[in-house]
Amino acid sequence: MPVSKDVMIECIDVNKEYRRAGAIIRALVDINISIKSGDFVIVQGPTGCGKSTLLNVMSGLDLPDSGKIIFDGENIARSKEDRLAKIRRQKVGFVFQDFNLVNTLTAIENVEAMLWPTVLRSKEIENRAIAALRDVNMLERKDHFPVEMSGGEKQRVALARAIVGKPRVVFGDEVSGNLDPKSEKEVMELLKQINQDYETTMIIVTHRETVAKYGDNIIKMDKGRII
């Protein structure tokens, strides 16, 4: 069955469980969702409900036990790691709770590093990194190291790094988990702006109600299920 062009990601009957010390944890139970290209989706629910697990299988970081994950028209639920790595590199950007910047690199070097290895000329890499830092209002801090930045500033650099490769989808896991309310607002508004300017599909998971309001489409989870 052909997938309609404007569907970015579809989960069909997705299940995943973890086995730990004899216990079975059903992290994802019969998940069915369809996300359109350009959507701004918030996945919200209490701690342990399966949000990160869902994000990981939708983004090709992990595989489900059963079901299909149709990513940009391709079922990736049984794909090999090299194929998943290629899809992630070409089509996906990630933003995590703890920024994951390289402390020995400046802001611009952190962003440029996403484009290595590449066929691009170094001037082109620099130009793209400058454009991405400008998009997150961090250009004037381009030569600063992470240790010289606040949490909100670090997350804005991490956001520049996520978008510099012009991904189809940005996945965020608790992007404001380490931020104060003002920085949370800045980061969420930047995600919204990027979503509108570049039609980048945004899929942001959070347990916070204050983040949920930024989504056009809110998916609520509880105990591994969509509710």
List residues binding ligand ATP (CB under 6 A): 18, 20, 25, 27, 45, 47-53, 207
Nearer to ligand ATP, 55 or 133 (CB): 55
Nearer to ligand ATP, 46 or 73 (CB): 46
Q: Give the whole-angstrom CA distance, residue 114 versus residue 61.
A: 17
155 binds, among ligand ATP, Mg ion, none (CB under 5 to 8 A by kind): none
Report the nearest approach of Mg ion to the CB of residue 43 (Å). Answer: 10
Report the nearest approach of Mg ion to the CB of residue 210 (Å). Answer: 17
Sign, CA dihedral 207-89-92-112, equals: positive
Report the nearest approach of Mg ion to the CB of residue 192 (Å). Answer: 22
Give residue 190's identity as a one-letter amino acid code: L
Phi, psi of 83 (to 5 degrees): -70, -45
Pull the structure tokens for residue 17: 């469980």
Local structure of 158: helix, strand or coil: helix
Nearer to Mg ion, 44 or 52 (CB): 52
Nearer to ligand ATP, 12 or 61 (CB): 61
Q: Give the whole-angstrom CA distance, residue 203 versus residue 42.
A: 6
121 binds, among Mg ion, ligand ATP, none (CB under 5 to 8 A by kind): none
154 binds, among ligand ATP, Mg ion, none (CB under 5 to 8 A by kind): none
- Non-local CB neighbours of 215 within 8 Å, separated by 6+ positions: 40, 41, 42, 204
